[in-house]
């Protein structure tokens, strides 16, 4: 799977002709995340929690057809809640999205985007949950060093510089795995509201 994503990103880079429009900018937004547990943890309560992300972004767009891709390097914080206990998941995220942009005029355009995202843990590696469903009344979950997910989103581009969009980030790998049992694990999907200013 990792080799596929690496080949996907490399193919996008090699496909960019010299005539492509390149814009650099800053991307930021809001994570609205919910824990998705394995079946062994179905009795634990989960709630939507808010976090944020921020970092540099680059857009490559073919001038006539509007096809291209974007990539970013983001510091991200996701607030996760499980059984009324919460933690903050901190990571460096690298999304690489294939995108298509359709311009109505020089003032406005719409875009759709999809692609893989790679996350690297930079926070605490363990989270202990107290609950009677566990053998000792609690379970310590260990965080994965790397996670993968997939983005699907759309938005608008205004005045050629400001982008506002909505993304759904689907986890493809687990965030945490229990120390006591392989069946204790969970991941998290997120809605992302984002804005970028491109120079």
| CATH class assigned to 2-198 | mainly beta
What is the C-alpha to C-alpha distance for residues 167 and 18, in angstroms, rounded to an integer?
Answer: 29
Domain positions in the chain are 2-198
Strand residue runs (E) in the chain:
21-37, 49-61, 67-72, 74-82, 85-103, 108-121, 126-130, 138-143, 146-158, 162-171, 176-178, 185-198
Averaged pLDDT, groups of 10, the chain, 199 residues long: 56 55 96 89 87 97 88 96 88 97 88 97 88 84 92 96 97 83 86 96
Question: In the prediction, which pLDDT does 131 show?
Answer: 85
Structure token pair of residue 81: 């809640």
pTM: 0.85
* Residue 81 CA to its chain's centroid (Å): 18
Q: Which two tokens stand for residue 143?
A: 């965080």
Rounded distance, CA 33 to CA 41, Å? 17
């Amino acid at each position: 799977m990792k080799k596929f994503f690496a080949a996907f990103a490399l193919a996008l880079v090699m496909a960019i002709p010299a005539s492509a429009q390149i814009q650099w900018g800053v991307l930021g937004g809001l994570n609205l995340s919910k824990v998705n547990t394995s079946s062994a943890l179905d009795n634990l309560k989960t709630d939507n929690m808010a976090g944020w992300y921020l970092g540099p972004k680059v857009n490559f767009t073919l001038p006539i057809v509007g096809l291209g891709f974007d990539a970013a390097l983001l510091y991200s914080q996701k607030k996760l809640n499980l059984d009324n206990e919460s933690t903050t998941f901190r990571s460096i995220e690298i999304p690489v999205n294939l995108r298509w942009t359709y311009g109505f005029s020089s003032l406005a355009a719409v875009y759709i985007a999809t692609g893989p995202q790679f996350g690297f843990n930079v926070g605490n590696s363990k989270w202990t949950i107290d609950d009677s469903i566990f053998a000792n009344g609690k379970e310590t979950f260990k965080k994965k060093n790397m996670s993968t997910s997939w983005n699907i989103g759309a938005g608008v581009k205004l005045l050629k510089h400001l982008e506002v969009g909505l993304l759904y980030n689907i986890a493809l790998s687990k965030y945490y795995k229990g120390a006591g049992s392989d069946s204790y694990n969970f991941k998290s999907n997120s809605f992302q509201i984002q804005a970028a200013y491109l120079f």
